[in-house]
């Protein structure tokens, strides 16, 4: 057994009997009692493994990799650790499990689901018993190649980026010196234009006619005409957030809840969307606050698969990425009619994100350009004259103010009354300034 001994001036040391039967001491210096007790527990675990000839427990092995060089040297001199630092490097499986446990308290449950999926892809490509420092850049390239097979590049980039973050954490914790995935670049999230698709309202209406469930029709309408993210924002809607009288609703986005606005935005109840919400309101149960009570998270229902079935029944070819493309189609329609900052506020994303992932070129844009053209307004001579006159009056006012600031002399009054001076002022106003551009007769 190991024990903590308090020395003067807040210094502490741990004494224990080593595997060779000799009394050993590890001096800790000035340290809190809590930290000293924690080190003492780890020393006892190391002693037990030494005596029994077993490998270090996973948590203890990871703890050893994170302690400072000074404490590691003292443990090594006390016969607790081997001189070879590789002896305490955890395996890939051990590190991944410990890393995910650490992240559980930091991220949302949905994020943890994604991280665990990335870990599964990694452990399918590399054996879990590999030591973390044995993984090379060649292994990383092999993992990357496997992720690219049968997947869109954006999806492979997502998993590669998460796996690279695992190894970044290992570098930060000084378990390994370099990240074997660090050389892989070009993993930024970019929109896949090949999978973008305008979803016409006429096709959506045809599908709506064969969907028997009013709640499923509302899901489609909220995505297509409300521009809501599905399923997260759609499933989060409550009747207490919907104001049919004023034509507004509060949308809560878990994806952006870490932003300054808390992921909360106010969205108009568009005219195309209103009938579906009114139908739900009429059939809503007493005391029921959720708009969508079916198709909740945790069920086996796949909204995309179910929608594809309805599309086929309606004689409509299933859409690519249907819910995201319905939101993107709405973003494109709103951008044609409202200022970009208004669209961004209603849809809950920045204008840059809208340009990269949502807004698309429609056939109507080409037709409008071919038939209507772009009108260029001709200069209005009358408005130009009025503008010059206003400018002249402003300059005269300035000259009068300057004269008032100075002495009210007869010379300044004569200057303001001289018609030649006023004529010169008007000529200056009507002449263009000389700069990088040639002189013109009008501003």
> 92-173 with 195-365: one CATH topology?
no
Q: Are the beta carbons of 12 and 39 closer than 8 angstroms?
A: no
- Which neighbouring-strand residues pair with 265? 251
Per DSSP, helices labelled H in 181-255 are 201-208, 214-224, 232-236
**pLDDT(242) > 80:** yes
Most confident of 239-243, 353-357, 438-442: 239-243
> According to the model, what pLDDT value does residue 81 have?
80
Average pLDDT of span 49-78: 81
Average pLDDT of span 352-378: 59
Can you read off the two tokens belonging to residue 333?
């329609």
> According to the model, what pLDDT value does residue 188 have?
77
At residue 300 the predicted structure's pLDDT band, cuts being 50, 70 and 90, is very low
Instruction: DSSP letter for 319, please.
Output: P
* Residue that wins the pLDDT comparison between 32 and 397: 32
**pLDDT(433) > 50:** no
At residue 285 the predicted structure's pLDDT band, cuts being 50, 70 and 90, is confident
Distance CA 119, CA 101 (A): 12
At residue 430 the predicted structure's pLDDT band, cuts being 50, 70 and 90, is low
> According to the model, what pLDDT value does residue 435 have?
46
**pLDDT(282) > 90:** yes
At residue 130 the predicted structure's pLDDT band, cuts being 50, 70 and 90, is very high
**Would you give the distance in Å from CA 197 to the centre of its chain?**
23
Contacts of 269 (CB under 8 A, 6+ apart): 226, 242, 243, 244, 247, 248, 249, 277
Distance CA 13, CA 43 (A): 12
Q: Are the beta carbons of 432 and 420 closer than 8 angstroms?
A: no
- What's the CATH number for 92-173? 1.10.150
> According to the model, what pLDDT value does residue 375 have?
52
Average pLDDT of span 343-371: 67
* Residue that wins the pLDDT comparison between 75 and 356: 75
**pLDDT(385) > 70:** no
Distance CA 390, CA 382 (A): 12
Average pLDDT of span 381-389: 57
Burial bucket for residue 227 (CB in 10 Å: 0-12, 13-18, 19+): buried
> According to the model, what pLDDT value does residue 144 have?
95
Q: Is 213 helix (H, G, I), strand (E, B) or coil?
A: coil
Least confident of 3-17, 23-37, 373-387, 412-426: 373-387
**pLDDT(202) > 80:** yes
Beta pairing class for 242-243 and 248-252: antiparallel
In this predicted model, what pLDDT tens digit does every residue of 250-268 receive, in sequence order?
A: 999 887 776 676 789 999 9
Question: Could you tell me if residue 349 is left (phi over 0), alpha (psi between -120 and 50 degrees) or otherwise beta?
Answer: beta
Distance CA 249, CA 343 (A): 15
* Residue that wins the pLDDT comparison between 35 and 406: 35
At residue 400 the predicted structure's pLDDT band, cuts being 50, 70 and 90, is low
Phi and psi at residue 138, in whole multiples of 5°?
Answer: -65, -40
Which helix (H) or strand (E) segment holds residue 14: the answer is strand 11-17
Class of domain 195-365: mainly alpha
Most confident of 186-195, 233-242, 418-427: 233-242
Q: Which among 167, 207, 172, 203 has a CA at the least distance from the CA of 184? A: 167
pTM over 0.85: no
At residue 443 the predicted structure's pLDDT band, cuts being 50, 70 and 90, is very low
What does pLDDT average to over the chain? 81
pLDDT > 70: what percent of the chain?
75
At residue 407 the predicted structure's pLDDT band, cuts being 50, 70 and 90, is very low
Most confident of 214-223, 259-268, 335-344: 214-223
At residue 376 the predicted structure's pLDDT band, cuts being 50, 70 and 90, is very low
pLDDT > 90: what percent of the chain?
42
Q: Are the beta carbons of 253 and 319 closer than 8 angstroms?
A: no
Q: Are the beta carbons of 246 and 315 closer than 8 angstroms?
A: no
Q: Are the beta carbons of 137 and 183 closer than 8 angstroms?
A: yes
Domain extents for the chain?
A: 2-78, 92-173, 195-365
Least confident of 216-230, 317-331, 390-404, 424-438: 424-438
> According to the model, what pLDDT value does residue 377 have?
52
Instruction: Strands of 290-377 (E only): list them.
Output: none
Average pLDDT of span 12-33: 88
The vertex-390 CA angle with 387 and 392, nearest 5°, equals: 110
Average pLDDT of span 179-189: 88
At residue 120 the predicted structure's pLDDT band, cuts being 50, 70 and 90, is very high
Q: Which residues of 30-39 are buried (b: 16+ CB within 10 A; e: fewer)?
A: ebeeeebeeb
């Amino acid at each position: 057994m190991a024990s903590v001994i308090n020395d003067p001036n807040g210094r502490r040391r741990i004494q224990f009997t080593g595997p060779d039967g000799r009394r050993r001491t590890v001096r800790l210096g000035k340290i809190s009692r809590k930290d000293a007790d924690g080190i003492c527990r780890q020393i006892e675990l190391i002693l037990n493994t030494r005596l029994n000839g077993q490998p270090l427990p996973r948590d203890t092995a990871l703890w050893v990799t994170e302690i400072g060089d000074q404490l590691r040297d003292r443990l090594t001199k006390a016969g607790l650790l081997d001189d070879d630092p590789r002896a305490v490097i955890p395996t890939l499986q051990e590190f991944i499990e410990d890393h995910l446990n650490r992240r559980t308290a930091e991220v949302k449950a949905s994020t943890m689901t994604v991280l665990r999926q990335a870990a599964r892809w990694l452990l399918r490509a590399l054996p879990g018993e590999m030591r973390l420092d044995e993984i090379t850049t060649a292994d990383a390239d092999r993992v990357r190649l496997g992720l690219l097979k049968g997947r869109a590049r954006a999806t492979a980039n997502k998993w590669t980026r998460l796996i690279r973050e695992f190894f970044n954490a290992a570098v930060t914790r000084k378990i390994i010196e370099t990240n074997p995935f660090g050389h892989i670049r070009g993993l930024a999230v970019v929109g896949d234009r090949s999978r973008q698709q305008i979803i016409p309202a006429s096709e959506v209406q045809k599908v709506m006619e064969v969907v028997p469930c009013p709640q499923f029709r509302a899901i489609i309408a909220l995505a297509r005409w409300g521009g809501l993210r599905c399923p997260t924002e759609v499933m989060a809607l409550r009747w207490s957030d919907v104001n049919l009288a004023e034509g507004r609703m509060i949308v809560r986005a878990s994806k952006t809840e870490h932003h300054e606005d808390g992921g909360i935005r106010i969205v108009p109840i568009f005219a195309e969307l209103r009938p579906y919400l009114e139908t739900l309101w009429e059939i809503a149960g007493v005391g029921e606050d959720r708009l969508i009570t079916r198709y909740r998270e945790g069920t086996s229902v796949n909204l995309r698969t179910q929608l594809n079935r309805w599309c086929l029944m309606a004689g409509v070819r299933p859409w690519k990425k249907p819910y995201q493309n319905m939101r993107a189609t709405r973003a494109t329609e709103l951008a044609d009619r409202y200022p970009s900052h208004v669209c961004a506020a209603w849809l809950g994303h920045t204008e840059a994100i809208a340009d990269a992932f949502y807004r698309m070129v429609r056939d109507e844009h080409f037709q409008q350009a071919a038939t209507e053209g772009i009108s260029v307004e001709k200069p209005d001579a009358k408005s130009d004259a009025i503008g010059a006159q206003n400018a002249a009056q402003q300059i005269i006012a300035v000259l009068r103010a300057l004269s008032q600031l100075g002495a009210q002399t007869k010379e300044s009054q004569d200057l303001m009354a001289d018609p030649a001076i006023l004529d010169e002022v008007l000529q200056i106003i009507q002449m263009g300034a000389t700069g990088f551009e040639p002189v013109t007769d009008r501003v």
